[in-house]
Amino acid sequence: MSAELDYKDFVHTAPGTLAGRYLRTFWQPVYCSHELPPGRAVPIRIMDEDFTLYRGGERGTPHLVGFRCPHRGTQLSLGWVEGDCIRCFYHGWKYDGSGQCIEQPAEPKPFANKIRIPSYPVQEHIGLIFAYLGEGEPPPFTRYPKLADPDIVLDVVRWNRICNYFNNIDNSLDNAHVRFVHKRHRETARDQIVKGDPRITVEETDWGIKRNVSYPNGAEVVAFFGMPNINYVNGQVVDSDIKRADVILFKVPVDDENHIHFEVRAIPLKGDYARRWLEGRRQKRTMEASSRAELVKAVLSGKLQLSDIDPNRTDYVIIEDEIAQTGQGKIADRRREHLGLSDAGVILLRKIWERELQALAEGQPLKQWTYRQDMIPVYPNL
Ligand code: FES
Ligand SMILES: [Fe+2]
């Protein structure tokens, strides 16, 4: 792609790409808090870069540092967490949370003060570990007070999806798909409220895009998209007991053909019952996780149909969205599309993205996006 058209390329996010540089100007979720116990280190890949994420063994602080040990290059996640430090598995060099090497056990003349690995600012909020992977000082960290309410339980999930993250970003603004992709919910309480084809209006806000979705029966839904890759909605059906929940979603590239769909659901349950519900949910999800990618591939290749899949799976809605989005191709070819009025949200989203990437390419100031506490999604009551 020629340099002057780079700002139309949202899909490539490796270091040095324009979209990659843009995404790196924001804090991004990189892992789920509950999946990283104290003393544990894991390798992670975000926007075509590898990192080591670990949680300190004593205070439980998460740290994000480079992927490889600079001695002879083995991957640091194999090593041991000691306090807030990580020790390499191969020859025991030890690094603190700032990436500074502080021990070289086999060296008669240690030169640890000359060795440093990259390290990145980390924050933890609403059950997610966020990192700032860009240059310079990070921007202010966004908090979501309604989701941090101690009276709700957060069901926090991370799904790897086998397509480019922008297939999923486009989907954030696409209400017209719900009636078809999530057809099964027509039988649920949700569809007694919202029936028929919605009329969608969208407007740019301080945070991204607000959308008002009006249904023929008068039901009005309000949802928010936060730049650059956040969707904040209400109305998602969780299970037959919990009809709807506030949900915030982040779509983060792993590489150009894979991304992570982070989802934080505010479950309106309390106390022991809430803890048991969450535990049961996580166990079921763990059992289902290993088969999901294969099911998606089987449906896409025609070996299975969606109707062959157990509709009681906790990830059924995820599978519905995943086959629609992956069915566009790993990277959707946007040059061949034919957009209509129902794509107003998608069109506005891309216009904003293009405007910001062009500003970045030309060294112009970027819009500073701000979440406000009154940006709360609305769904009609039963
Ligand atoms: S490779 Fe890490 S200490 Fe040798
Ligand atoms: Fe969907």
pLDDT, residue 191, reads 52
Query: Given the CA of residue 73, which atom of ligand 1 is nearest to it?
Result: 1
User: Would the CB of 68 count as within 6 Å of ligand 1?
Assistant: no
In this prediction, the residues of the chain whose per-residue pLDDT falls under 70 are: 1-5, 185-195, 235-243, 381-382
Q: What is the pLDDT of residues 2-11, one digit of tens each?
A: 455 588 899 9
Q: Whose CA is nearest to atom 3 of ligand 1?
A: 91
Query: Given the CA of residue 104, which atom of ligand 1 is nearest to it?
Result: 3
Beta strands in 128-257, from DSSP E residues, in sequence order? 128-132, 153-161, 199-204, 208-214, 220-226, 230-236, 245-255
Q: Whose CA is nearest to atom 4 of ligand 1?
A: 91
Alpha helices (runs of H) in 140-257, residue ranges in sequence order: 165-172, 178-181, 189-193
pLDDT, residue 236, reads 65
User: Would the CB of 80 count as within 6 Å of ligand 1?
Assistant: no
Query: Given the CA of residue 74, which atom of ligand 1 is nearest to it?
Result: 1
Q: Classify domain 27-132 by CATH number.
A: 2.102.10.10
Q: What is the pLDDT of residues 206-261, one digit of tens each?
A: 999 999 988 888 888 899 999 999 999 986 666 666 667 889 999 999 999 999 99
Give the distance (Å) from ligand 1 centre to CA of residue 133.
Answer: 24
User: Would the CB of 90 count as within 6 Å of ligand 1?
Assistant: yes
Q: Provide the greatest CA pair distance for the chain.
A: 79
pLDDT, residue 1, reads 46
Break the chain into its structural domains and give their ranges. Answer: 27-132, 153-361
d(CA 303, CA 57): 46
pLDDT, residue 186, reads 55
Which residue, 317, 149, 126, is CA-closest to 230?
126
pLDDT, residue 238, reads 65
Give the distance (Å) from ligand 2 centre to CA of residue 46.
Answer: 23
What's the one-letter identity of residue 229?
Answer: N
Full-model pTM:
0.94
Q: Classify domain 153-361 by CATH number.
A: 3.90.380
Give the distance (Å) from ligand 2 centre to CA of residue 236.
Answer: 9
User: Would the CB of 372 count as within 6 Å of ligand 1?
Assistant: no
Give the distance (Å) from ligand 1 centre to CA of residue 78.
Answer: 11
